């Protein structure tokens, strides 16, 4: 009898432990029914830096989930999630975006000024700035690095070629950019990859070597393990406070948050909305970026596809309630929105998007069916839990108004990119257009202009092309916002994609970390960072 009691006790204990573990597990796929409080999401710094006297020394360990083994801004997407933070530490940036003022301000460069017509931009460099190989960072070096970036087809290369007529270097400290037409936000181009100046010696050997004029130098890289950046004694703004930056790769966002809480890391990059919410709840400071159009379904408008008919695209838009998608995929920690730029954004205009209106959707669909459309559509997405939940919610909502939806969930992001971007073999697909809060023109052009290289088959129209060009030429933020309102109106007519809402990117750190600056594309600058007690 007593042995039976032992067995019952052991089984009971095991069940309790297993249940506890199941209840405490995290991730996108869990807790679908959990009611989470709505967070206050905003673009910019979260928490106030208490300041104090900078502490010299120490290693700042930063965890991220993707690794950029090649720190070449011309060959890597320059964003916080893809090595942008490491590259900013090694190369610095000529200009940076100040999230508080919304202005572009000098960083490595001394000044950037536009002519009255915004067609000529003059960049003035600081005196005495040197690369870590000892060579001067002068006008010729800037020109060479930009030409290298464009030749290698960096992310903004096409935009650059389309707009920049000539780059002149009248003296060692001046670079003049002559544009084909006025562009009030041209300075944003130098806040990212084009503004990360690569030294000539980086290309001198057989393999690329990251050599820049930033506060840190490349130390070592072990794939899937870590990268070490060392402080530079001769940085133009004085030796940085930190001795080293150690970048470590942790794929599981919950594990990354645990390591931050344990003090094993001091900075973490998060983009899973559930984990972002946990980090905010835990009171971490940080830099938040809300990626507009970060969660959309692109519609293939090529001839022969269901989306070729504007009524079908509009019917789909009317049939989708984005809140349902965010509730299913992210437990409602974030609000869905059909607007291009929701209320968090300085580009929010108040112009209404197409409303969630199932009756209107049915009407439009009936019209399309009367003209021969069979109502069938395939939805392509990935297989991660959030994508699966999104796909099921879309299927349910579209079928409720009369569509017949077949789900096509592919195994890897590469498969999805191949189908959508390379082969355009899809009807509708989960995607991210990622219009940037700091300067949206670049992504607007590449994703929605008929000459853009990332339209992936979406509907483009001469009217939208004209509006995008008008936005580029608008001289003031007020004028730009006015054009943005008309872009929303045009979007309502064209419906190139279904809009579900923005996605957060949060670079989090504890209160003991000071002196961090946020900039474009969820990047942070660490040249003044220090770790206090």
Binding site for another protein (CB under 8 A): 2-3, 6-7, 10-11, 14, 17-18, 20-22, 24-25, 68-70, 72, 75-77, 207-208, 222-226, 248-252, 255-256, 258-259, 261-262, 264, 410-415, 417-419, 421-423, 446, 453-454, 456
Cβ neighbours, 10 Å, residue 97: 25
20 vs 343 by CB, closer to another protein: 20
Contact 237, 244 (CB under 8 A): no
DSSP labels, 13-78? HHHHHHHHHHHH--STTS-TT--PPPP---SEEES-----SPPP--EEEEEESS--SS--TTTS--
The answer to whether 249 touches 65, Cβ cutoff 8 Å, is: yes
DSSP H or E stretch at residue 411: none
First to last CA, the chain: 58
d(CA 17, CA 395): 37
Are 484 and 349 within 8 A, CB to CB? yes
At its nearest, how many Å lie between another protein and the CB of residue 431? 10
Separation CA 264–CA 256 (nearest Å): 10
Alpha-carbon span 205 to 202, nearest angstrom: 7
In angstroms, what is the minimal distance from the CB of 501 to another protein? 22
Q: Which is nearer to another protein, 371 or 411 (CB)?
A: 411
Minimum CB distance to another protein, residue 157 (Å): 10
Nearest approach in angstroms of CB 454 to another protein is 5
> Smaller CB distance to another protein: residue 221 or 491?
221
Contacts with 279 (C-beta within 8 Å, 6 or more apart), sequence order:
257, 260, 268, 270, 286, 506, 508
**Helix intervals (H) in 289-412:** 310-319, 322-330, 358-370, 385-400
Angle between helix axes 385-400 and 310-319 (nearest 10 degrees) is: 110
Determine whether 50 is exposed, middle or buried from the number of CB atoms within 10 Å of its CB (0-12, 13-18, 19+): exposed
Write down the least CB distance from residue 27 to another protein, Å: 11
C-beta of 226 vs 469, nearer to another protein: 226
- Is 321 strand, coil or helix? coil
CB of 254 to another protein, least distance (A): 10
Question: Got the DSSP string for 249-282?
Answer: E---HHHHHHHHHHTS-SEEEE--HHHHHHHHHT
Closest separation in Å from C-beta 26 to another protein:
10
> Angle at the Cα of 45 (from 40 to 51), degrees rounded to 5?
130
Nearer residue to another protein within complex by CB, 18 or 396: 18
**Closer of 327 and 455 to another protein (Cβ):** 455
SS3 of residue 312 by DSSP: helix
């Amino acid at each position: 009898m007593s042995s039976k009691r032992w067995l019952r006790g052991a089984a009971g204990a095991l069940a309790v432990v297993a249940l506890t573990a199941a209840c405490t597990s995290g991730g996108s796929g869990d807790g679908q029914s959990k009611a989470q409080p709505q967070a206050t999401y905003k673009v910019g710094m979260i928490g106030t830096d208490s300041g104090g006297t900078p502490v010299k020394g120490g290693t700042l360990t930063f965890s991220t989930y993707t690794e950029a083994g090649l720190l070449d801004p011309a060959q890597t997407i320059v964003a916080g999630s893809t090595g942008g933070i490491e590259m900013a530490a090694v190369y610095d940036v000529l200009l940076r975006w100040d999230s508080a003022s919304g202005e572009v301000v000098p960083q490595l460069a001394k000044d950037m000024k536009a002519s009255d017509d915004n067609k000529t931009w003059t960049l003035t460099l600081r005196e005495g700035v040197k690369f870590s190989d000892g060579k001067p960072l002068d006008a010729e070096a800037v020109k060479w690095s930009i030409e290298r970036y464009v030749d290698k087809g960096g992310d903004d290369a096409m935009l650059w070629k389309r707009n920049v007529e000539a780059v002149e270097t009248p003296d060692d400290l001046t670079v003049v950019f002559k544009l084909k037409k006025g562009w009030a936000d041209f300075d944003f181009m130098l806040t990212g990859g084009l503004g990360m100046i690569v030294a000539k010696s980086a290309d001198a050997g057989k393999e690329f070597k990251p050599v820049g004029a930033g506060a840190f130098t490349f130390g070592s890289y072990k794939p899937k393990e870590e990268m070490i950046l060392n402080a530079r004694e001769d940085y133009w703004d004085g030796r940085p406070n930190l001795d080293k930056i150690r970048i470590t790769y942790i794929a599981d966002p919950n594990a990354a948050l645990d390591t931050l809480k344990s003090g094993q890391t001091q900075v973490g990059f998060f983009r899973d909305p559930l984990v972002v919410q946990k980090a905010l709840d835990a009171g971490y400071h940080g830099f938040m970026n809300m990626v507009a159009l970060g969660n959309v379904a692109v519609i293939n408008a090529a001839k022969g596809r269901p989306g070729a008919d504007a009524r079908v695209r509009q019917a789909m838009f009317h049939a989708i309630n984005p809140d349902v998608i965010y509730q299913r995929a992210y437990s409602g920690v974030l609000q869905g929105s059909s607007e291009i730029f929701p209320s968090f954004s300085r580009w929010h205009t108040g112009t209404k998007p197409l409303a969630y209106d199932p009756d209107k959707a049915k009407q439009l669909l009936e019209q399309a069916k009367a003209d021969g459309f069979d109502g069938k559509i395939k939805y392509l997405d990935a297989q991660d839990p959030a994508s699966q939940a999104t796909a099921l919610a879309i299927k349910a909502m579209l079928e409720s108004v009369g569509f017949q939806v077949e789900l096509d969930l592919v195994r890897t992001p590469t498969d999805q990119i191949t189908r959508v971007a390379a082969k355009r073999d899809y009807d509708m697909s989960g995607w991210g257009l990622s219009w940037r809060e700091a300067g949206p023109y670049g992504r607007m052009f590449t994703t929605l202009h008929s000459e853009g290289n990332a339209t992936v088959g979406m509907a483009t129209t001469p009217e939208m092309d004209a509006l995008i060009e008008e936005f580029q030429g608008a001289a003031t933020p007020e004028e730009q916002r006015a054009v943005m309102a008309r872009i929303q109106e045009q979007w309502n007519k064209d419906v190139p994609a279904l809009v579900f809402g923005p996605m957060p990117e949060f670079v989090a750190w504890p209160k003991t970390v000071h002196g961090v600056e946020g900039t474009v594309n969820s990047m942070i600058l660490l040249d003044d960072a220090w770790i206090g007690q």
